[in-house]
């Protein structure tokens, strides 16, 4: 896991450097009023979908409908994560869950978490970021190029959508 964490830190640093170059450091600390209170609103969509697929289960319609949270992220009318890129992220996460004990670890995290509003299908935010940061997307990121994590794709798109980076 150390290799994944160091990769995550590398891309996080690149993201923050780019944000500073684009003037993002001048963004006020108070978030956009439309900004979700938690990025879990986006992160759990892809985690839940990959979890069902990795378990060989049908993906519930509610999860399928929630894909629009991610594919609906846009900047000036330009879609930031296309359905093809979203599907690639899901496939890469499913592959990751098939390695080692990753699927069992995710199941244990689901079982141990107390989700907000007693919703089902949730893991702690730190676990969400660690999982998504550990998976490289097999599609080049438009800013960071090849080797970017799912977390980098999502954070960049969310921040661009809400005008925070």
For the stretch 28-59, pLDDT in tens is 343 444 445 568 889 999 999 999 999 999 99
pLDDT at 25: 43
Asked whether the beta carbons of 44 and 128 are under 8 A apart, the reply is yes
Q: pTM for the full model?
A: 0.75
pLDDT of residue 85: 95
Q: What is the DSSP string of 70-107?
A: HHT-EETTEESS-HHHHHHHHHHHHHHHTSTTHHHHHH
The secondary element (H helix, E strand) that includes residue 82 is none
- Tell me the pLDDT band of 145, cut-offs 50, 70 and 90: confident
Residue 89 vs residue 25, higher pLDDT: 89
Indicate the domain borders of the chain.
2-20+35-161
**124 close to 8: Cβ distance less than 8 angstroms:** no
**Does residue 133 sit in helix, strand or coil?**
helix
Contact 86, 46 (CB under 8 A): yes
pLDDT at site 163: 80
pLDDT, tens digit, for every residue of 53-103?
Answer: 999 999 999 999 999 999 999 988 889 999 999 999 999 999 999 999 999
Count of CB atoms situated within 10 Å of the CB of 74:
13
Packing angle of the helix pair 150-161, 83-97 (nearest 10 deg): 150
The separation between CA 103 and the C-alpha centre of its own chain, rounded to angstroms, equals: 17
Give the burial class of 19: count Cβ atoms within 10 A of its Cβ; 0-12 exposed, 13-18 middle, 19 or more buried. middle
Place of tokens 């977390």: 151
Predicted local confidence at residue 53, as pLDDT? 96
- The dihedral of CA 112, 115, 120, 123: what is its sign? negative
Q: What is the DSSP letter of 74?
A: E
């Amino acid at each position: 896991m150390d290799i994944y964490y160091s990769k995550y830190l590398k891309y996080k640093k690149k993201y923050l450097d780019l944000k500073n170059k684009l003037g993002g450091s001048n963004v006020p600390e108070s978030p956009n009023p439309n900004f979700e209170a938690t990025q879990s609103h986006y992160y759990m969509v892809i985690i839940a979908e990959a979890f069902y697929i990795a378990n060989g289960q049908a993906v519930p319609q509610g999860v399928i409908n929630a894909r629009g949270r991610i594919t609906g992220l846009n900047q000036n009318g330009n879609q930031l994560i296309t359905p093809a890129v979203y599907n690639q992220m899901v496939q890469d996460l499913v592959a990751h869950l098939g390695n080692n004990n990753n699927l069992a670890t995710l199941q244990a995290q689901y079982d141990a978490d107390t989700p907000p509003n007693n919703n089902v299908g949730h893991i702690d935010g730190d676990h969400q970021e660690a999982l998504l940061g550990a998976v490289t997307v097999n599609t080049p990121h438009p800013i960071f190029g090849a080797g970017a994590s799912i977390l980098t794709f999502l954070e960049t798109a969310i921040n661009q959508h809400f005008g925070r980076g």
